[in-house]
Structure 1
């Protein structure tokens, strides 16, 4: 709320007058108006209000606190007025208002107010409230115990100031206020002391790994209970992790919202629950739950990062301690999905240790770790349940469960007899569908990384682990392979050459890549895939090939092909991690950071993409945590993998090589010496970073962003020359458009898909998806959905091109522009 200094000063004088007159009916609204105008800052002449309160009668002071507390509980949880009331009470307390003389109902109100906070910054106040309440024989509410515990763990002096008080708390076993902890506390209250002791033991998991003593205690506590029931209850609690808090906490004025993360005391308990599960007999559901817990706790929170990496690490450690196929599968799956560096390191360590134990390579472990998930043949299984038959199939990127009745007729829903008589089998089938849907993208990503892994397989092992594997085979049979130098794809039940000749044996198999192949051969294989109706899980036959340009031969040791772009930093950072690059977030601080790096040990090389932070002229375009919102890009270079690392100031500037112990600088490897496949794949990654993270493809940035600084860049990127991936998209659209229902309204003109509507003719840029309208090339802003579904266009040669889906969905809408109802779009037409 904006107000002039004179208005504020007048209001402060008015409130002081109300206090002096002890006008209790009007004082609370007046105080809250001042708090709203100043956002709870009580400096300067505003403190005259509190001096007046302290000079008032004792009865007035008590009644004021009581009314503030009552008003607090009338307001919405988490609202700003609630925070303002806390600021008023805090100021009264710090200026001398004592707690000791207040009536019990006021003290209870203050306890409730304290319990609404994530952390209380006055440990002495918490101690006084607790001592007074306990002296009167009253039990402290669980929410108040929770804020004491959180303050103990979080404040810089918390452990020293609150240790004695925390040591007196035996109850509750975990802090209330989170969905899982509330459920656990409610169940434990019914189940008895043995369960309470088990839950309390989980909360003592304060180390990075369980000690032998911790494990012994855990086994003893489990032995007093039924192991199967322990597993079922612990898993039911873990399934609730990540749900919204049941009692929201007041958000702070600065910093991340505590409601978006975990209670730190409960985080220890979650870590302990994961460890306890690893002490139980192995079970597939345990592995699923621990894998899901790791992913849920690594979810990114703006301004904070991962929700709680230490819980994710505990889940990984628990999986590593479980000797089962399902646990190994989860470790391998997570290794392809997790991007947080600390957790990824734990995953690598666990998989390397398992490989060493089994006498296999890391790559072989990852291959052997993929379960069949109930599939009895490639992508398919039939399960007889009474008189009904369940058909589990993998269709493209998803698993589908369908049913046939006793007559062999397909039915839409699960037969009632199956629900009644085969509940456990039905549960496992539904779990298998979820497992497959989680594992398929992980395996697709692993296969996509094999191009740079220089991986080859003996023919028999390859057939077993890839082509004929019940799950991986659904991906492998949609890719092209090289068998003893002969390219082959799978169709009509066999490996076949371009001429459809079966390939039935071989010695050595590798994943086919278009680099080094004649363009006519590549086009022929694209036609072969289309003829056989094969949709590849990622771009392979249509994969972009990045050959050395004349400009790069001139620069010699670096490529400027993807320099001078402006990228959204967090989106770039996530993409880089997914593609196997190491990157450090740029903070607006006086520090240096290395470039984004992808190490290629099989080639003895290290690829670098040089980047720098962009915070605007006044460095005001940064997050609350101090990191840049955007990056500017520079060169791509290659170095020997053991060369000293380069670094540059986080805010940008020249990169320099860090030399130690008198070491000589190492020159970058000439681009002409980089193997063509390596150059192509690295540049393809960088093209992906730019294509996805560039501000140029944001349809809402037509004004050029903050102060219009990026208007020229946005225009040149959003409507400029097509990059390699957009060129591939153009070639594909030339084949797709004739099959669309709107084919007569569409033509491809240079960089654009031109769509003729009733109101206008529209030009959709094939790189950014941005739109221009006739007659004067006016810009049309249409913000796509986060995951747009591509309209039905018949056969598609590969999966995963989000921009293709965006362009096609926009084309379908604009071709029938008289039926558009969105007011935001209509106002532009």
Structure 2
């Protein structure tokens, strides 16, 4: 006889003997043995008890109450007793342990979900049967759990009864929506309808119902009410208890509310086009794709709904958001939707995908390149683009500049002020996105007709602020923009041409490149990214010897998740390596303009689950290997996540495709691909982390950390060295600094320090002792006057460390002082 049969037999024996107390004890023992999980076999025991006549069930329920109050009962037994009473006493007179049940429900309300076989829904049913509503947090718990219940009817049936509140509490946006809808049946109905958005796209019937609900509220009122909710997405009003095996639930979306968010994006897509709508949807897409520990992107379904909504909205602002997001989003599913939306728009207008991206960039109210003025009463608002940022300033009627917003503007022009502040934020976001897009144009091999290029780039109110800081070739002549015109290296004006290309230093003599760097400095031009100072990666003798691959960036140890993010930003496709028996392709970048595919061979590093992986099993670190090139349509390689040889998996009878001779790769393509890989190593290597001086787990990376942290300079660090040789004489601490070899030497009062120009790691006298200074996330470079390009964070870190150490007697940080 099995355990279940024995339990059923014992219950029947105790029933026959009228021993209700013994039945109660037996049920509690079973619950303890089952850890409170009433799966199908053990549910037979409950079915046996539920089938008893009311007087027998009453006696057993009362016996369970007595057990609850017994001195021997612990918290687990009391919790099991509450559940059993809920099961057995359903339909019986009386309300047993109501206060205790309420306390248990409040405790449950602090959880994300529970396993449906714990049968906690009987507690909620008992409360409802007693005529009492459940607390909002408890309603939220049961709704979330019902969404995850597997092959269970009880929880969905209970959730269907829980109609109030219309959204789950616990998230800022939802609680704001509940307040806005309080006492307004029309809003309640709209929110309730939004929460039914459980499909990828709305049906015609769903949209018809939504339009009917929008009409009495008015489109403008719906937009101005809903848009502020989106800005609050991702923020909680109280934290839920997180069990050890769960992801970071407090940074995820409530799954019930996520459906409502999705529905609200569908609602906004039905409204007339408005910049606020596009802006809010774009921000929601980015918020929804933010990474959450143990989960990945916060909620791709909501992000996808936001993209689909933008794709349905006509007008410049929605197209601009689609184009901006296409340069920022790295999550494959959402990026695919963005690509499809832009392709559809391009086809509808008879344009190429590249052209639609260019035409999608708005002016954001700028009336000339990088500038506009707006008269607000007696005050003039001046909106200017300075470098990578937009700045809003003010000028009085007397022509005097003021920093803060004048009171008269706040009072009399609140709506115009709001628009100007929104334009500042929009410009900052779009500038960053367009800078990244232009940085990727080098391998696009793009040519523009001169007139179209001037309109879309050089003279465009926003893109002109980037284009006028870059170098171009007009009919083969290199030009830059200075003093109101395109000019050659000797400042001769260039006023026309046929074809324009973005200039790249590969293939040009060093003297010519240096001359253009001097030209930029002479005209005070800071480039939005490295162009004249761009690293050039030429074929080496070692690569000629290997023939078909480069080992230049092999044998590095990289932080996997940081590498994965960088790869996606630079247009590479990669799959996270898990410590499982599985295979994965290399990190790849497709170069369709050249018919090529670049591969960077990598594999997971380490074999200690938990030490070398996250809780979810993904490797913390990667080991790197070769860079290879293949025809773009060649079959994909793959290798075990643990490591091993990469192989092509081919259909029967097919022959593998060899990697291409690296000497045959166009120099520009080779340089840009290796520059990407150098970036991955330069940023994600553990050798650049000052906290890894102990060598990491078991000290096994000590030798690697030392070799990278203080070794030979890579190309980007070499560029940094050349630049620092020019910058250091301009520093206020110039008399204490010299650039020698791989280091910036800084003479302090306590010690002399050597800052490595690649990693930023520090050695100090005597005996080259290591000094650990961990930079802040937003380390800013000290004022040095002119800088030739933006975006080198390591340069800012090195300079800020130099300024700190040059005045080492003023250091107050106890962590640093203890090392000095």
**Fold conserved between structures, TM > 0.5:** yes
Q: Distance in 1 between matches of 2:415 and 2:516?
A: 46
Maintained 8 Å contact 2:64/2:81:
no
Q: Distance in 2 between matches of 1:170 and 1:94?
A: 24
Q: Give the one of 418, 422, 429 matched to 2:420.
A: 429
Whether 2:165 is the aligned partner of 1:172: answer yes
Superposition pairs for residues 377-416 of structure 1, below 5 Å?
377-416=368-407
Change (3 A) 1:210 1:559: same
Kindly provide the CA deviation profile for residues 54-108 of structure 1, in whole angstroms up to 9, marking residues without a partner as x: 999866654589999xxxxxxxxxxxxxxxx6x6755666899978473221121
Q: Distance in 2 between matches of 1:59 and 1:318?
A: 55
2:581 aligns to what?
A: 590
Maintained 8 Å contact 1:66/1:106:
no
Superposition pairs for residues 18-97 of structure 1, below 5 Å?
61-63=67-69, 90=79
1:713 aligns to what?
A: 704
Q: Distance in 1 between matches of 2:644 and 2:71?
A: 56
Maintained 8 Å contact 1:121/1:155:
yes
Maintained 8 Å contact 2:762/2:771:
yes
1:221 aligns to what?
A: 213
Q: CA deviation at 1:620?
A: 3.5
Superposition pairs for residues 300-319 of structure 1, below 5 Å?
300-319=291-310
Kindly provide the CA deviation profile for residues 554-601 of structure 1, in whole angstroms up to 9, marking residues without a partner as x: 000000000000000000000000000000000001000000000000
Q: Secondary structure at the match of 1:451?
A: coil
Higher alpha-carbon deviation: 505-514 or 143-152: 143-152
Whether 2:548 is the aligned partner of 1:553: answer no
Whether 2:536 is the aligned partner of 1:542: answer no
Whether 2:496 is the aligned partner of 1:505: answer yes
Maintained 8 Å contact 1:564/1:632:
yes
Change (3 A) 1:706 1:91: farther
Whether 2:170 is the aligned partner of 1:197: answer no
Maintained 8 Å contact 1:62/1:102:
no
Q: Give the one of 111, 124, 129 matched to 2:123.
A: 129
Q: Distance in 1 between matches of 2:568 and 2:314?
A: 29
Q: Distance in 2 between matches of 1:639 and 1:144?
A: 57
2:512 aligns to what?
A: 521
Q: CA deviation at 1:116?
A: 1.4
* Long gaps (5+) in structure 1: 1-39, 43-53, 69-84
Maintained 8 Å contact 1:588/1:615:
no
Maintained 8 Å contact 1:255/1:624:
no
* Long gaps (5+) in structure 2: 1-34, 38-59, 90-94
Superposition pairs for residues 257-406 of structure 1, below 5 Å?
257-406=248-397
Change (3 A) 1:671 1:124: closer
Maintained 8 Å contact 2:308/2:337:
yes
Q: Give the one of 139, 150, 154 matched to 1:156.
A: 150
1:139 aligns to what?
A: 133
Superposition pairs for residues 652-731 of structure 1, below 5 Å?
652-731=643-722
Change (3 A) 1:817 1:224: same
Q: CA deviation at 1:210?
A: 1.0
Q: Distance in 2 between matches of 1:698 and 1:692?
A: 9
Maintained 8 Å contact 2:65/2:97:
no
Q: Distance in 2 between matches of 1:123 and 1:714?
A: 50
Whether 2:190 is the aligned partner of 1:188: answer no
- Aligned Cα RMSD in Å? 2.1
Q: Distance in 2 between matches of 1:663 and 1:766?
A: 49
Kindly provide the CA deviation profile for residues 255-301 of structure 1, in whole angstroms up to 9, marking residues without a partner as x: 21221101101000000011100101110000000000001111111
TM-score, structure 2 as length reference: 0.90
Q: Secondary structure at the match of 1:490?
A: strand
Q: CA deviation at 1:337?
A: 0.4
1:231 aligns to what?
A: 223
1:466 aligns to what?
A: 457
1:19 aligns to what?
A: none
1:630 aligns to what?
A: 621
Alignment length (residue pairs):
759
Maintained 8 Å contact 1:355/1:365:
yes
Whether 2:470 is the aligned partner of 1:476: answer no
Q: CA deviation at 1:199?
A: 0.5
TM-score, structure 1 as length reference: 0.89
Q: CA deviation at 1:174?
A: 1.4
Q: Secondary structure at the match of 1:246?
A: coil
1:738 aligns to what?
A: 729
Q: Secondary structure at the match of 2:603?
A: strand
